[in-house]
Structure 1
Amino acid sequence: MTDSPAGRHISAEIDEQPAVFARLLAARAATSEVASVIARRRPRFALLAARGSSDHAALYAKYLIEVLLELPAGLVSPSTTTLYGARPDLGDVLLITVSQSGGSPDLVEVTERARAAGALTVAVTNTAESDLSGVAELGVDVQAGPEVAVAATKTYSATLLALYLLVDAVRGGSGEHAAALPDLAAETLADSVEPVAEAVRRWRFVDRVVTTGRGFSSATAAEAALKLAETSYLSARSYSGADLLHGPVAAVDEETAVLAVAGQGAGGTATSSVLDVVGSRGADVVAVGSAAHTLTASVHIGVPATAEEVAPVIEVLPVQRLALGLSVARGFDPDRPRGLNKVTKTR
């Protein structure tokens, strides 16, 4: 009896994403009901609590809330509640807790305490019967279905789409910019096979990776660094394009691999000048996104053009494929990253 092929679970879950998106769009009415409650309560600002990949989804939501709703938004430090016992006044505040498992004790405690302090609490999770869902006032199911691989793929992208549909509905939108995402996701997966394979060939023996993006795509860059670290054990760091130029670029040289994420829009335009500096230092650059071909890079992995605010939902797909391919090429099994479990419990 032979062992199962390395990465077969994560590969299947990456390929499942167009169907997951279609399922989420079909259930948009339930998300809109949650959004109507938020709109009626008229929060004065929003807070987001999350860990791991969900923290990157929360970063994406922060941009959505600040740009589309024009509300100030911030990322919570759970330890201020769980370790230090802080009890801020959260009256008229929206707290969105993002967790695919809904099982991390710190996120459950933060949500429970926030609700007691007056916040409107919303759990965004792939586990509707979780402890997190039990303590939150409202819940959004990301509809991704069971995820076997330890590294999150379909739960991450489904969470992005669920957050977009929620925020868009709060502002009275119809989700029109998301309607084509199932088809665009399938197109992205099909068209990215060859350029991803080329990127894997170039980066098989790299040791250091820097990922970068601006605006909405900064969440994709952060998720890319995590995926490369947890599946290929690379030293991977993520910086916004602006922060990269404020010091860390000094460490970039011809031994550095750089993954740049850029969609059409303000964020992608701002990334172009960053890549000019990075390229001049001899780094090997792989560019991903609908604006990838406008950037100076060794490999361009394009995705279909969309409204900028939904681009992260599909631009992360070739990034997931890159993480899978590199892990297998380097002799690892991305389904079973060493030292990691599917549900991480922290306090």
Structure 2
Amino acid sequence: MTSSDGGKHMAAEIAEQPAVLGGLLARRAEITSVAERVRDRRPRFALLAARGSSDHAALYAKYLIEVLLQLPAGLVSPSTTTLYGAQPDLAGVLLVSVSQSGGSPDLLEVTESARRRGALTIAVTNTPGSPLEQAAELAVDIGAGTELAVAATKTYSATLLALYLLVDAVRGGRGEHAAGLAELAAQTLDGSAAAVAEAVRRYRFVERVITTGRGYSAATAAEAALKLAETSYLAARAYSGADLLHGPVAAVDEETAVLAVTSAGHGGAAMREVLDVVRQRGADVLALGSAADTVPAALRIPVPETAEEVAPILEVLPAQRLALGLALARGGDPDHPRGLRKVTRTR
């Protein structure tokens, strides 16, 4: 921490996450009751509406729905409703609107419109009684408590867990893979501290970062890029490992740092070819995840191994700490990033 104590809110909220996750797990029955309503309606496919960090959580939920429920799922473009007035038939559709504040006008309008057109609507939010929660038929409270830092940390990981518990309960699961996540989150924060500090020293002066992952971990790569951009003002871009090889890899060179999310499972295994290519182009690779030790990299940040479907809940924790550390090392205050407010209102 700097002498001016910059970033104190972000640091505190990162540290709160094991307790927040534990509290959410203790309320799993509330989420199960929502899941039962979904199961009774037997949706034919799912749509997810979100912005910012919540959009990355929605991407994670898209993988969960398609893999665990075997339902097609897509991310909504809110402007098709708010700007163009599209009114598709949504009978038999599940719409999940994800918003930490529950106050974004575009997500509110999308949710209201979808409900009128026959969708089963669920609001996943950190603000009980918010306009979004009132607009939706069902609601899941992530229960992360007030978040003072502009950069979302505890609300993001809690949203991931809430979405996992919801989807798992819809398929009839009992949250077995999530049961120990509070303890594992504490282990992740403690066990990765030295590696994160070394990464801060190594990348303090870097200006161009690519973050990449596959499968469930694509959401972590997207969230890591956002955190680096909004707190450290880095030119950070996120790509799935597959998309990176389809053109953007041409921009990778010796001046590029690559944050590669590689956890045990199909997604992590698919990243090996990607990292072979970027290493050949001279990139400096930082591997993060439970499979980080299995891939070529200049530095590695370890994460305890879990079922692949819940790995993003742990992966993001050291990525948040990295963004915090780099922001402070570069002379910034991540609690007050320039030009940003806690709640962004778009239409």
TM-score (norm 1): 0.99
**Which position in structure 2 is the counterpart of 1:300?**
300
1:103 counterpart SS class? coil
Letter of the aligned partner of 1:128 in structure 2?
P
Per-residue deviation, 1:128 = 1.1
C-alpha distance in 2 between matches for 1:276 and 1:3 = 41
1:344 counterpart SS class? coil
Per-residue deviation, 1:3 = 7.7
Letter of the aligned partner of 2:242 in structure 1?
A
Identity fraction in percent: 75
C-alpha distance in 1 between matches for 2:145 and 2:189 = 20
**Which position in structure 2 is the counterpart of 1:82?**
82
**Which position in structure 2 is the counterpart of 1:164?**
164
**Which position in structure 2 is the counterpart of 1:55?**
55
**Which position in structure 2 is the counterpart of 1:116?**
116
C-alpha distance in 2 between matches for 1:86 and 1:39 = 28
Letter of the aligned partner of 1:345 in structure 2?
R
List 4+ stretches of structure 1 deviating above 3 A. Answer: none
**Which position in structure 2 is the counterpart of 1:337?**
337
C-alpha distance in 2 between matches for 1:140 and 1:184 = 23
Letter of the aligned partner of 2:278 in structure 1?
V
Letter of the aligned partner of 1:221 in structure 2?
A
C-alpha distance in 1 between matches for 2:54 and 2:84 = 23
C-alpha distance in 1 between matches for 2:250 and 2:95 = 38
Question: Which residues of 2 match residues 24-39 of structure 1 at below 5 A?
Answer: 24-39=24-39
Per-residue deviation, 1:4 = 4.6
**Which position in structure 1 is the counterpart of 2:17?**
17
C-alpha distance in 1 between matches for 2:250 and 2:157 = 32
C-alpha distance in 1 between matches for 2:321 and 2:295 = 21
Question: Which residues of 2 match residues 252-271 of structure 1 at below 5 A?
Answer: 252-271=252-271
C-alpha distance in 2 between matches for 1:290 and 1:241 = 17
Q: Which string of whole-angstrom CA distances, capped at 9 and with x for unpartnered residues, describes residues 155-188 of structure 1?
A: 0000000000000000000001000000000000
C-alpha distance in 1 between matches for 2:179 and 2:318 = 20
Unaligned runs of 5+ in 1: none
2:258 counterpart SS class? strand
**Which position in structure 2 is the counterpart of 1:324?**
324
Per-residue deviation, 1:129 = 1.2
**Which position in structure 1 is the counterpart of 2:243?**
243
Per-residue deviation, 1:154 = 0.2
C-alpha distance in 1 between matches for 2:273 and 2:180 = 30
Question: Which residues of 2 match residues 186-205 of structure 1 at below 5 A?
Answer: 186-205=186-205
C-alpha distance in 2 between matches for 1:214 and 1:242 = 7
C-alpha distance in 2 between matches for 1:144 and 1:32 = 18
**Which position in structure 1 is the counterpart of 2:174?**
174
C-alpha distance in 2 between matches for 1:22 and 1:235 = 34
